[in-house]
Chain A
Amino acid sequence: MEKIGLYLGCNIPMKAPDIEQSIRQIMPPLGIEPVDLQGASCCPAWGTAPSFDLNNWCAISSRNITIAEEQEVDIMTGCNSCFGVLSEAKHFLNDPERRKAVNTSLAAINREFKGTSDIYHVAHVLHKKVGLEKIRENLKYSLAGLKIAVQTGCHTLWPSDVYKVKEENPFYPSILRDLCEATGATVPHYSRLESCCGMGGMRSTDMEKSLVLFKDKLMSIKEETDADLVVTTCSSCFLQFDMSQPILKERGLIDFEPIPPLYYTQLLALAMGCDPSQVAAISQIDRSGIIREIQSEKRLIKEVA
């Protein structure tokens, strides 16, 4: 079984540990063993060190990467921001001058960045290392007939020159679509597929502007797909879909019930038969209906004798 360092970040282990649990539960049956990166910190988030100093950003990011290097494993994260921040820092450290300066900082804590561990997103591990066939083989329930709107999120897409795994066309992403289709579900296209949900720095700087962007995206999903659920591989997008639909509803800005959101590994964990009280337990929007539907008896895949 391939070992890979599970880099948690902040939001997933603190606010959405059911996403963490879903990652931990689905990976071993799919042939991947997540190992903890003891003492890893924030990536650091865009609004912190990256907003003050480039080398300090690289020092904090590379400290995290050295924890994986010590264990001779690559890094897998479920958070798009962490994926973007760590990947960009690693890219900046290709500059020999910068690497030297950052390693001088790291020497104060007895660490050295070597650049031997690659950075992957959970979606990349599932798509490239596990593969769609193995996902299909491990399903307990078929999601045939369910309609999913996918939300990839920004930080696995651009800038493509810093990422280990790239989309064929980052303005028309297909990795998450493939992963959802592997469960049997239908994934219709919608015109705002690659547009930003408005989470992140924008939401903390100006929530009203963030909501304008979010509503634009949400309306495109509703009107063009009428999806049963939104599935994302970005924990920040997940939080935006979960927090902001109720706000729009309460303000009378949408006339439909919030579309239940799931992080992709939650969807897969449910389809693999995991316990929803562990893998899909924390949300503002009521997801009990869609969870019952996913794990309904009529969807059980008969084992081939």
Chain B
Amino acid sequence: MIIDQQKIDEAVSTIVGYGGQNILNCIQCGACSSVCPGIKAGFPLLCRNLIRHLLNGELEEIIEDSSSWGCQACNRCTEICPRDVRPQEVVFAFRRYQANELAFSTSSVTSQMNLYETGHAVFTDPSALRKQVGLPETTPTSAYDDKAKEEIQTLINNGPMGELGLF
């Protein structure tokens, strides 16, 4: 492949901007990948390999890969990294780049809508189950609290998710 310094700079600054601040510390030792459940399950672009692609200046080339969405956010990688890369932050920074380019699976739209409308990413009417176990049918959470819902919507509207026009 052709190494293009401009592309490398662009990829690094994009990742740093989205929260992967320590990406340049990486020495490609692979400790992160050795403990990553996502890699074990067969997602190709996580931890060391994702960082390698990014440090080669690839960004658009891998935007459609869904591996980052298979990251469990478990942070085993962060714990074990000898160079304080905090690889999960790099994976999430890449995921944020994808999300802000609207390159994410439609299946995750439901949880965004739920969060916006009820304050809960997972929302199902809980009344029957709660009644069954002797709890009040509604939860003391944002789902049944209009002021709380307004607050959540204000925070989302004022952030990049609001600007993307998802809601």
User: Which residues of A pack against B, CB within 8 Å?
Assistant: 8, 10-11, 13-15, 17-18, 20-21, 24, 36-42, 44-56, 59-60, 63, 81, 84, 105-106, 108-109, 111, 154-155, 157-160, 170-171, 195-196, 198, 200-202, 204-206, 209-210, 212-213, 277-279, 281-282
A105 contacts B121, C-beta separation under 8 Å = no
Closest 3 CB pairs of A and B: A41-B119, A39-B148, A56-B159
Q: Which residue of B lies closest to A25 (CB)?
A: B134
A84 to B73: give the CA distance in the assembly, Å.
9
Shortest A29–chain B CB gap in Å is 17
User: How many Å lie between the Cα of A213 and that of B74 in the bound state?
Assistant: 14
Given contacts A48-B115, A56-B156, A11 and B70 within 8 Å (CB-CB): no
Contact B72 A52 (CB under 8 A): no
Asked if B160 contacts A209 (CB within 8 A), the reply is no
**Are A205 and B120 in touch, CB under 8 angstroms?**
no
23 A-B interface contacts by CB (under 8 A): A8-B140, A13-B141, A18-B129, A41-B142, A49-B115, A52-B99, A54-B19, A60-B155, A109-B150, A111-B151, A154-B37, A155-B74, A158-B76, A159-B88, A170-B79, A201-B72, A201-B73, A202-B70, A209-B41, A209-B70, A210-B41, A212-B41, A282-B132
Nearest Cβ on chain A to B1's Cβ, whole angstroms:
28
- A17 near B135 with CB under 8 A, answer yes
Query: Counting chain A CB atoms within 10 Å of each CB, which of B92, B132, B134 scores highest?
Result: B134
- A277 to B71 CA separation, bound complex (whole angstroms): 36
Q: How many A-B residue pairs have CB under 8 A?
A: 214
| Chain A residue with Cβ nearest B79 | A158
Q: Hey, which chain A residues are within 8 Å of B120, CB to CB? A: 10, 14, 41-42
Decide if B86 is an interface residue (CB 8 Å cutoff): yes
Known contacts: A37-B140, A39-B142, A201-B70. The answer to whether A17 contacts B130 by CB under 8 A is yes
